[in-house]
Amino acid sequence: MGSPWRLTLKIATFAPKEIGDTIMATPMFKALRNLYPDAVIDIVTEIENHPVIEGIGLFDHIITFWEGIDLSGYDLALMPVFSCEPAVHSAAKKAKQFIGIEVLYSLKPHSLIKRLTAAHAHMLFEKHQVELNMELVRKLGYNGEIPEMYCPVLEEDIFSEYKDKIACCIYTPQNSFQAGKNRFWPLERWKALIDLLGEENVLLVGATTDTPNIKKLSEAVKCKIKITSTIREFVRLCKQLKVLITTDHGAMHIAATSGVPIVSLHGASSPVLLHPWVAKKGKSISIISSKLCSPCQRSYRLRFCERALTTQNCMEKITPKQVASAIDMMDKLEIGESRILIGYKLMTIEEFRHNWWIKLKHLINITVSREMLRIAKLVNPSF
């Protein structure tokens, strides 16, 4: 006779404090629940009352992480890629089985090119972060389509007064990472863009925390301003817009769930790994800096700038004329398309990934930077 009861599978997954990283993990969360409909699936969040998880309805329990949390009772811990602090990883690895990016991609790949570029670690030109997250749940046996990203949205159809506006998403850095020049487009560049587009066509948008820089810019231009206090409001606002222009930060990933066409600006961040994931709705054009070392995130080249050995001015190389040109090009894109703009040349993601010149300059940047860092460390061991 069979047992009159059976053990219920217990699974833990994780929501990092970074809004964008959590949003890009939501397709994985959905696929996980689809794969294990009867399991107890808990989500451990790095912050209390995580705004992305609100209303998602996939989890049995929402647990705020604390130092000393014991996850050893879980049968499986599934860690979204490139997210969460080391302490969260340490706790997750106490589960009976742990699935993270290191399970899929060896630290010592067989490919010589990948060893030289470290592409196995930072995946600059490999896949989108959503795709990498999905690879984790596919490792467990999921074989369906990639679900759409989730983000809470207001039910009410409001903000009609901003219909067909071109929105400039201006943010004010809240920490040292956000304050880095690799993700911040100078306010004078925003002003020059607005002069090209016409003040009457533009809306300045951002969250409550972005008010300082929005006010600074509004002193130089006469545009309407809309500051949203919740993610739900921002998603609903985006649904009214003609296009949203934004740097690569959390608001970009929030907007990608709304269907609004997006022009995103990338300095260090890769437009392959982190372009707006528009999937089956919306469309996007990601503008990459013309600086020879862009993109460089998660690489030796970025460390060079972080240690002030070179000037980090990649975002300044993106011009207002390029952004205005991207807006004009947007009409030619089909729904669901994402393209990359280099200079004034529009490329598909695949064309960018396989472009020999991009691969060559990346290889040179990574290898030269790595060797120069080694030399610097020999000269100054504390470097």
- The string of pLDDT tens digits covering residues 215-258 is 999 999 999 999 999 999 999 999 999 999 999 999 999 999 99
pLDDT at 120: 46
Phi, then psi, of 45 in degrees rounded to 5: -110, 145
How confident is the model at residue 124, as a pLDDT? 66
Any idea how long the chain is?
383
**pLDDT for residue 291:** 85
Strands 98-99 and 166-169: unpaired
Of 205, 209, 216, the C-alpha closest to 243 is 205
Q: Assign domain 10-139 to its CATH superfamily.
A: Glycogen Phosphorylase B; (3.40.50.2000)
Q: Give the residue ranges of the chain where pLDDT is below 70.
A: 1-7, 106-124, 175-182, 382-383
Structure tokens at 371: 């060797």
Cross-sheet strand order for the sheet of 10-15: 61-64, 40-45, 10-15, 76-78, 98-99
Cα–Cα dist 34/44, whole Å = 19
- Residue 131 tokens, joined: 């795709």
**Alpha carbon of residue 301 to chain centroid:** 20
Domain extent listing, the chain: 10-139, 160-364
Question: What does the angle CA 337 – CA 189 – CA 274 come to, to the nearest 5 degrees?
Answer: 35
160-364, what's its fold? Rossmann fold (3.40.50)
Please count the helices (runs of H) and the strands (runs of E) in the chain. Answer: 15, 13
What is the Rg, in whole angstroms, of the alpha carbon atoms belonging to the chain? 22
The DSSP output letter for 289 is P
